[in-house]
Amino acid sequence: MKAFKLIDTTNGGSVKNDILSGLTVALALVPEAVAFAFVAGISPVVGLYGAFMMGLVTAVFGGRPGMISGATGAMAVVMVHLVSEGNVLGGNDSAGLQFLFVTLIMAGFIQLAAGVFRLGKFVRMIPHSVMMGFVNGLAIVIFLSQLGMFKTHGEWLTGTALYTMLGMVALTMAIMIGVPFLTKKVPAALTAIVVVSCLVIFGGLETETVRSFVVANGGQGIQAGLPTFNVPFIALTVANILFILPYACILAAIGLIESLMTLNLIDELTETHGSGNRECAAQGLGNIVNGFFGGMGGCAMIGQSIINIKSGGRGRLSGITAALALLGFILFGSNYIEQVPIAALVGVMFMVVIGTFAWSTFRIWNKVPKADIIVIVLVTGLTVLFDLAIAVLAGVVVSSLVFAWENAKRIRARKHIDQHGVKHYEIYGPLFFGSTELFTSKFDVQNDPDEVVVDFKDSRIVDQSAIECVNKLTERYLKNGKNIHLRHLSADCVKLIKKAEKICEVNVLEDPDYFVAIDNFRKAQQLN
C-alpha cells in the first residue's frame, strides 16, 4: 500500500534525505526527552525510552509519514501531578511510576478505540483560526521551554557563560539560514549541530553540554540498556481506577488533539494527505507499548516534525531512523552525544519557533472577522497558560457559538396569498435552536387566513428545538381554528419529523399541488 512506503519519492523524498533528517531529529530529541522527563518528575531514561518507542511505533504504523512522535511537554505537565499523587496514594516513591504506566496503557486503548471507530475525521471540524492560534501558542511554548536551557543549577547564566551561549545559538541559526543557499543535499540543522559541536569539542570552549545538563538536573548520564517488558502492578481497587481514569482520558485527549493537528500542519507543508484514523490507532499502540516497556509515552511533536520535514524527511524511514538513532545514542553513543552543546540544540529549536509561528496572523489582523481574531488570540493564550486540549476545545466552542449566532440571524420569510386564499410563508435559512425565536416572530397567527402553507424549499429543520418550535406554531394556529401545512421538506427533515410524531403534530404536504392536498385534508376533517 502506498501509505506504508518507507520512502516517499513523490514529494522530494529519498533514502539519503530520510536518513540524514532522521539523525538530525534524533539529536534534537535527546535534550527534549530529558527535559520533559524532569518536568514529569521521572528518570531521564524513562523519557528517552518513551521517545524511542513512540517514535518507532508511530513511524511504522502511523498515518502520517515524516511526522515525529515522542515525549512531549503537553503530556508531561499532566504526568507530573499523576506521578506525585500516585506516590502518595501508593505509599512509596516508586508507586507513581507504576500508576503512570497503567494510565498510559489505558490512555493507549482509548486512542486505539478512537482510530478503530474512525473518530480522527473530527479534526476537520477544527476551524482555521483555531489552527493558527494552536501553532502560535505552540511556538511560544517551545520558545519559553528553551529559555530554561539558559540556566544552570537553577540560576540564570551570566557574564562570559551567557555570551558564549548566545554566540553559539546565533551561530547555529546563521548556519541553518546560510546552508540552503550553498547546498540542499545535507540538512542545515545537522550541519549546524556538527559545526558548533566541533567548535566546542576541539576549540576548548566552556559551555553547557547535554551531559552537564542531565547532571545538573539530577541525572547520571543517558547510557542505559534496552527497555524490558514488565507488567505494571497496582491494586485494581475502585479508588485506584477512579484515580487513573480521568488522567487516562486527559492524556488520550491531549495526545490525539496534538497529533491530529500536527498531522494537518504537516499535510499543508508537504501538500499530501495523511490518515487521521490510522494515526489515532498508532498513537494508542505506542502508548500501550510504553506502558509495558517502561517509557513515559507521548504524542506527535510539532517541533521535531518540522525539523524533519525541513531537513528533507518525507517517508517512514526518517521516523524509523530517528527512533533507532536515539536508541543507538542510549546504548552505544552516549559518550559522544553528551558532548553536543546545548546551545546548538537551542539554536535549532529557535529556528523551529520561527518556522512554526504563523506570521500571517499580523497581515490578516484587519482583513478577517473580529470573531476569528478573538479565537486566534484566545487559543494562543490558553495554549501558553494551560494546555493544548483546553485551548483547542475553547476555540472550537467559541467558533461554534459564533457560527450559530451568525446563522440564527439569517432566517427570512417571504409572504404572499395565492388565488385560493392560502397564505404562503417561504422560509430561507436553517431552522435550529438559535433561530427558532426569530422564525416564530415571522408569523401573524391572528390575522392569517384559515389555510397557511410554510414552504421549506430553501430551508431545513435541523434539530429537536426546531421540531418543537414548529409544533408550538401549529398549536397556535389550531387554537385559532386555522390549519398550517409544511411543504417542500427535504427527505431528512421528513424523516426527522416522522421520528417525532408522538410529540409533534404537523401536516406535511407531500403532494406538490398543495391545493389538492389541502382539499383532501379538509374533507378528512369533515368526515372525522
For 456-486, give the DSSP string. Answer: EEE--B-SHHHHHHHHHHHHHHHHTT-EEEE
On whether residue 381 sits in a domain, the answer given is: yes
Range of the domain at 77: 14-149+245-341+356-400
Stated pTM of the model: 0.71
CATH no. for residue 458?
3.30.750.24
pLDDT at 3: 47
SS3 423: strand
Strand, coil or helix: what is 416? strand
The pLDDT value recorded for residue 18 is 92
Q: Report pLDDT for 28.
A: 79
Asked whether residue 37 is assigned to any structural domain, the reply reads yes
Three state DSSP letters for 113-168: HHHHCCHHHHHHHCCHHHHHHHHHHHHHHHHHHHHHHHEECCEECCHHHHHHHHHH
- State whether 396 and 417 are in the same domain: no
Whether residues 253 and 305 share a domain: the answer is: yes
Show Cβ contacts of residue 20 under 8 Å, excluding neighbours closer than 6 positions.
186, 187, 190, 311, 312
* DSSP-based helix, strand, coil % in the chain, nearest 5: 65, 10, 25
Query: Is 485 contained in some domain?
Result: yes
Q: Are residues 301 and 366 in the same domain?
A: yes
Q: How many domains does the chain have?
A: 2
Which pLDDT score is estimated for 503? Answer: 45
> What gap in Å lies between CA 283 and CA 157, rounded to an integer?
38
Q: Coil, strand, or helix at residue 227?
A: coil
Residue at 193 is within a domain: no
Give Cβ neighbours of residue 391 (< 8 Å, ≥ 6 apart): 133, 134, 137, 378, 379, 380, 381, 382, 383
Distance CA 433, CA 462 (A): 8
Quick count: other Cβ atoms within 10 Å of Cβ 235? Answer: 9
511 and 385 within one domain: no
How far is it, in rounded angstroms, from Cα 447 to Cα 329? 84
Instruction: Report pLDDT for 1.
Output: 41
In a domain, 125, yes or no: yes
HSE of 185, CA atoms in CB hemisphere, 13 A: 2
pLDDT-above-70 percentage for the chain: 90
Q: Cβ(67)–Cβ(262) under 8 Å? A: yes
The pLDDT, as a whole number, for residue 171 is 95
331 and 421 together in one domain: no
- Structure confidence by residue, pLDDT tens digits, 53-111: 999 999 999 999 999 999 887 788 788 889 889 888 887 878 889 999 999 999 999 99
421 and 379 within one domain:
no
Cα–Cα dist 174/386, whole Å: 33
Q: Per residue of the chain (528 residues), what is the pLDDT tens digit?
A: 444 566 665 555 688 889 999 998 998 788 778 767 776 778 788 989 999 999 999 999 999 999 999 988 778 878 888 988 988 888 787 888 999 999 999 999 999 999 999 888 777 678 889 888 988 987 888 788 788 888 877 788 899 989 999 999 999 999 989 988 888 777 788 888 889 999 998 888 888 888 887 777 666 767 778 999 999 988 888 989 999 999 999 899 889 988 988 898 898 888 888 899 999 999 999 999 999 999 999 999 888 898 899 888 988 999 999 999 999 988 887 777 788 888 988 888 888 788 878 888 888 888 888 899 999 999 999 988 877 778 888 998 999 999 888 888 889 999 999 888 899 999 999 999 999 999 999 999 999 999 999 998 898 888 888 888 888 888 898 899 888 888 887 777 777 666 555 444 555 655 455 554 555 555 555 555
Q: Tell me the backbone φ, ψ of residue 502, rounded to 5 degrees.
A: -70, -20
The three-state secondary structure class of 386 is coil
Q: In a 3-state reduction of DSSP, which class is residue 341? A: strand
Distance set, CA 266 to CA 51, 104, 206 (Å) = 19, 26, 38
DSSP 8-class letter at 366: T
Residues 279 and 423 in one domain: no
Q: Which residues, including other chains, have CB under 8 Å from residue 170's CB and lie 6 or more apart? A: 347
Which class for 301: exposed (0-12), middle (13-18), buried (19 or more C-beta within 10 A)? buried
Asked if residue 387 and residue 323 are part of one domain, the reply reads: yes
Q: Which residues pair with 509 in a beta bridge?
A: 487
Residues 396 and 442 in one domain: no
Are 372 and 259 in a shared domain? yes
Contact by Cβ (8 Å): 296, 40: yes
Residues 432 and 390 in one domain: no
- Asked whether residue 335 falls in the same domain as residue 440, the answer is no
Polymer length of the chain: 528
| pLDDT > 90 fraction of the chain, expressed in percent and rounded | 34
Per-residue pLDDT at 12: 58
Cα–chain center distance at 77: 16
288, 292, 284: which is closest to 232 by C-alpha? 292
The residues facing 483 across adjacent strands are 451
Largest CA distance in the chain: 105
Distance of CA 234 to the CA centre of its chain: 31
The set of residues, in sequence order, having a beta carbon less than 8 Å from that of 387 and lying 6+ positions away, is: 74, 77, 78, 254
Q: Alpha helices, DSSP H only, in 297-422?
A: 302-310, 316-331, 334-337, 342-356, 360-363, 370-385, 388-408
Q: What is the pLDDT of residue 501?
A: 56
Task: Region of 126 please: left (phi>0), alpha (psi -120 to 50) or beta.
Answer: beta
CB neighbourhood size of 237 (10 A): 10
Residue 466 lies in a domain: yes
- pLDDT score of 69: 95
Q: What is the DSSP string of 259-311?
A: HHHHHHHHHHHHT----HHHHHHHHHHHHHHHHHHT----EE-HHHHHHHHHT
273 alpha carbon, distance to own chain's centre: 16
